[in-house]
């Protein structure tokens, strides 16, 4: 019997048709795995600002200070990872391929709701590893809603099982997220300017200072150290697409 036809433009259905599935780990005890934290996103005057520190840890060991935790999936969507980098990077590669496969096969970009569901599906496919305590990922997703006029960037956060929620103002994930959310909530309620009214320079400075404070209370969060030329991964999504903040721009924002 021939296999069922693949749903047009569905990369994950294509994988299923060829019986390609995520690996399953069977272990009596979870190894000490590498973890990546902390990431957050907030609305500012020109769109959505996304930030991530660059530290990865394994237990009490600092593995590296050069992880890129904010990943461009396509020209209008960003994935900010918190959890196990190996699993998260594989998810990102699969989503990048899925989005591009759809664009080429259907001659149009995947809609924002479909992208949001695709990440939810990837997290559900990772349920086996999550339940075993390895491969846990709790990401943030930022995408551009082209159905709105003008186009509007949106923030979504997920739990490790794939449940998705839209964040009205901001969201954070990772081991330093409690501190980050507290700072964002305080700025949203009492700050001047509020995050939504910040310029790009103000948002850059605010994000870097937030990571500095988070690093004070969480050893897994990599601090920002301008004197050592150590900064964060900062990107923002606006109506014209994604832009990455350079080290020079970050240093100038703190000066």
Annotated catalytic sites, by residue? 37
Q: Are 236 and 49 in contact (CB under 8 A)?
A: yes
Residue 84 CA to residue 87 CA, distance in Å, equals 6
Q: Are 223 and 211 in contact (CB under 8 A)?
A: yes
Residue 132 CA to residue 25 CA, distance in Å, equals 8
Name the burial class of residue 26, with classes exposed (0-12), middle (13-18) and buried (19+) by CB atoms within 10 angstroms of its CB: exposed
Other beta carbons within 10 Å of 66: 11
Among 30, 34, 83, residue whose Cα is nearest residue 57: 34
Residue 228 CA to residue 27 CA, distance in Å, equals 41
Q: Are 22 and 71 in contact (CB under 8 A)?
A: no
Residue 44: helix, strand or coil by DSSP?
A: strand
Q: What are phi and psi of 92, to 5 degrees?
A: -60, -45
Q: Are 155 and 167 in contact (CB under 8 A)?
A: yes
């Amino acid at each position: 019997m021939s296999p069922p036809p693949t749903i047009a433009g569905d990369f994950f259905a294509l994988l299923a048709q060829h019986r390609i599935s995520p690996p399953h780990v069977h272990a009596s005890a979870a190894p000490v795995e590498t973890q990546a934290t902390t990431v957050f996103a907030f609305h500012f005057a020109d769109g959505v600002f996304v930030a991530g520190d660059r530290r990865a840890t394994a237990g009490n060991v600092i593995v590296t200070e050069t992880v890129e935790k904010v990943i461009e999936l396509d020209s209008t969507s960003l994935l900010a990872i918190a959890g196990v980098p190996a699993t998260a990077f594989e998810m990102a590669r699969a989503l990048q391929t899925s989005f591009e496969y759809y664009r080429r096969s259907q001659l149009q970009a995947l809609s924002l709701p479909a992208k949001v569901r695709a990440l939810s599906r990837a997290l559900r496919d990772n349920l086996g590893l999550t339940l075993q305590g390895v491969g846990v990922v709790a990401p943030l997703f930022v995408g551009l809603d082209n159905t709105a006029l003008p186009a509007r960037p949106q923030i979504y956060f997920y739990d490790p099982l794939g449940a998705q929620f839209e964040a009205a103002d901001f969201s954070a994930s990772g081991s330093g997220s409690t501190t980050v959310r507290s700072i964002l909530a305080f700025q949203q309620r009492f700050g001047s300017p509020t995050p939504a009214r910040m310029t790009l320079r103000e948002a850059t400075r605010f994000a870097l200072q937030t990571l500095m404070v988070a690093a004070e209370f969480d050893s897994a969060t990599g601090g920002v150290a301008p004197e050592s030329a150590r900064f964060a991964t900062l990107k923002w999504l606006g109506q014209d697409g994604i832009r990455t903040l350079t080290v020079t721009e970050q240093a100038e924002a703190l000066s």
